[in-house]
Amino acid sequence: MEYFDKRAVSAAGIIAAACLIMGISGTAAAKGKVRNSPCEILIQTGGELAQAVSELEAEVAEDASDPYRDRPDIDTDDWMFILANPWNDIGDYTPELEYLEGQQFDARIIGPMEDMVEAARAEGLSVLLSSGYRSYATQTWLFNRKADEYGEPIAATIVARPGTSEHQTGLCCDITDHYYEMKDASLENTQMYQWMSRHCDEYGFIVRFPKGKEDITGIIYEPWHFRYVGKEAAAYIMEHDLTLEEFLELYQ
């Protein structure tokens, strides 16, 4: 203990002596009309350092308060993040297509889709790929047919306007049960949906239009509609109960 005390005393002595010397030379420097004495420079540097430290601390505190600070390192310009919704018209975008079980998809998601379907069937589920890619032309036809019947504003609430349907991206699929093909909210009670919603992210898919997020997606709750975004993003989106819109917003 005594040893440390002695060290502390001598350290204090050295600092005091250093400051005294600096002070003297500082005074000398002042006489020589030099702007800052070494002690002033030391104080100034110390001040800057303290400011930098507090700025860093503020940054860390801000970062810690961001609940999404652990979001995956992805490039939102990647093909798998293309966004088609009532506010994002993708025009006549057409991916390279490939067939799977009677439906067309972006060729790049055929592998993950096959893997997911195979895994679900291994659990005894009777998976039905009910609707995949829909072209701009098909969507135009569907929309016009409704518009002729009800007028454009009402048609837009029933059928997506051409260029705003996610089915045009080729990255999604309506998945139902062979024995329960109804596309309504009660589909969530099927074993199919229970399994799909729990495991889809393992294959890179998300529940694209969740319950309670209708204002954000612009689409009603659709427990049959699954969308590919890649494994990393899917795991994050499902874990944090996000929509694709909310997820992409994290990177703005």
C-beta separation of 200 from 221 below 8 A: no
Query: By Cβ distance, which residue is nearest to Zn ion?
Result: 225
Question: Applying CB under 5 A, which part among 11-19, 86-94, 101-109, 218-226 lies near Zn ion?
Answer: 218-226
HEC string for the chain: CHHHHHHHHHHHHHHHHHHHHHHHHHHHHHHCCCCCCHHHHHHHHHHHHHHHHHHHHHHHHHHHHCCCCCCCCCCCCCHHHCCCECCECCCCCCCCEEEECCEEEEHHHHHHHHHHHHHHHHCCCCEEEEECCCCHHHHHHHHHHHHHHHCHHHHHHHCCCCCCCHHHHCCEEEEEECCECCCCHHHHHCHHHHHHHHHHHHHCEEECCCCCCHHHHCCCCCCCEEEECCHHHHHHHHHCCCCHHHHHHCCC
Region 161-180 residues binding Zn ion, contact defined as CB under 5 A: 174
Q: Does 227 bind Zn ion (CB under 5 A)?
A: no
Alpha carbons 142 and 149: distance in angstroms, whole number: 11
Only one of the segments 44-52, 122-130, 213-221, 223-231 lies at the binding site for Zn ion (rule: CB under 5 A); that segment is: 223-231
**Least distance in angstroms from the C-beta of 230 to Zn ion:** 19
In whole angstroms, the minimum distance from the beta carbon of 65 to Zn ion comes to 36
| Shorter beta-carbon distance to Zn ion: residue 39 or 133 | 133
How far apart are alpha carbons 154 and 187 in whole angstroms?
Answer: 25
**Which residue, 201 or 222, has its beta carbon nearer to Zn ion?**
222
For Zn ion, the binding residues in 86-125 under the rule CB under 5 A are none
CB 183, min distance to Zn ion, A: 8
209 interacts with Zn ion by CB under 5 A: no
Least distance to Zn ion from the beta carbon of 227, Å? 9
Measured distance CA(48)–CA(60) in Å, rounded: 18
Whether 222 is a known active-site residue: answer: yes
Catalytic residue among 48, 222, 246, 249: 222
Stretch of 80-88, 107-115, 195-203, 225-233 contacting Zn ion, by CB under 5 A: 225-233
The residue among 106 and 174 lying less far from Zn ion, judged by its C-beta, is 174
Least distance to Zn ion, CB of residue 54, Å: 51
225 binding Zn ion? (CB under 5 A): yes
Residues that bind Zn ion (CB under 5 A): 174, 225
Query: So which residues are the catalytic ones?
Result: 222
